[in-house]
Amino acid sequence: MIQSLLTKGESVCELLLFVDHKYPVNAVTMSDCTIMKVPKVEFLHMLDEHPRAAIDVRTYISKTLYQKFIMMQNIASTSAEERIKGTLKYFKSFFPDKTPFSYEVKLTRQQFASITGLRTETVIRTLKKLEKEGFVKIEDRKVYF
């Protein structure tokens, strides 16, 4: 199951910097990227030395946790339609343009199914239903919300 999709400047498993556990996930890039690995001890020292950075990290972690709770509520729904609507709203919340159909879903139907915990066929069928209701727009196999 896909846990999250990160964009430029975001980190993987930053919550685990403050506990001694192995990462319960792995990361796969979908495009070329630069990965910066900072040893835990050095990172924690940097936070001690730079209080503003420590505040920024706590704020980022808080926002991440909030979004994870929102996604858990979406995925807990028994309604495929509610899962998909919630996930679309979640992704668009990070996008500056909030006008209708301004956000292009950059995921395949399979990836969208992996995020929502649904079967690919269910995602396809539900997206078509949501298009008829005017909730999404589908053009050239691309979904816009």
User: What range defines the domain where residue 61 resides?
Assistant: 1-76
Quick one: pLDDT band at residue 37, thresholds 50, 70, 90? confident
Query: Among candidates 23, 65, 63, 59, which has minimal Cα distance to 40?
Result: 23
Residue 1 shares a structural domain with residue 44:
yes
Residue 43 shares a structural domain with residue 13:
yes
C-beta of residue 6 within 8 angstroms of C-beta of residue 52: no
Helix (H, G, I), strand (E, B) or coil at 83: helix
pLDDT at 15 over 90: no
The more confidently predicted of residues 29 and 99 is: 99
Neighbours of 73 (CB within 10 A): 13
Q: Angle formed by the axes of helices 109-116 and 120-132, to 10°?
A: 100
Summarised one tens digit per residue, pLDDT across range 40-89 is: 899 999 999 999 999 999 998 998 888 888 888 888 899 999 999 999 99
Look up residue 11 and give its two tokens.
């980190």
Residue 44 shares a structural domain with residue 22:
yes
Domain finish residue from 76, 104, 128: 76
pLDDT at 2 over 80: no
Summarised one tens digit per residue, pLDDT across range 85-131 is: 999 998 898 888 999 999 999 989 999 999 899 999 999 999 999 99
The distance between the two most distant Cα atoms of the chain, rounded to a whole number of Å, is 55
pLDDT at 3 over 80: no
Using alpha carbons only, give the angle 119, 7, 79 rounded to the nearest 5 degrees: 25
φ/ψ bin of 20: left (φ > 0), alpha (ψ from -120 to 50), beta (otherwise) = beta
Residue 71 shares a structural domain with residue 84:
no
Residue 63 shares a structural domain with residue 84:
no
pLDDT at 85: 96
Residue pointed to by tokens 């420590």: 54
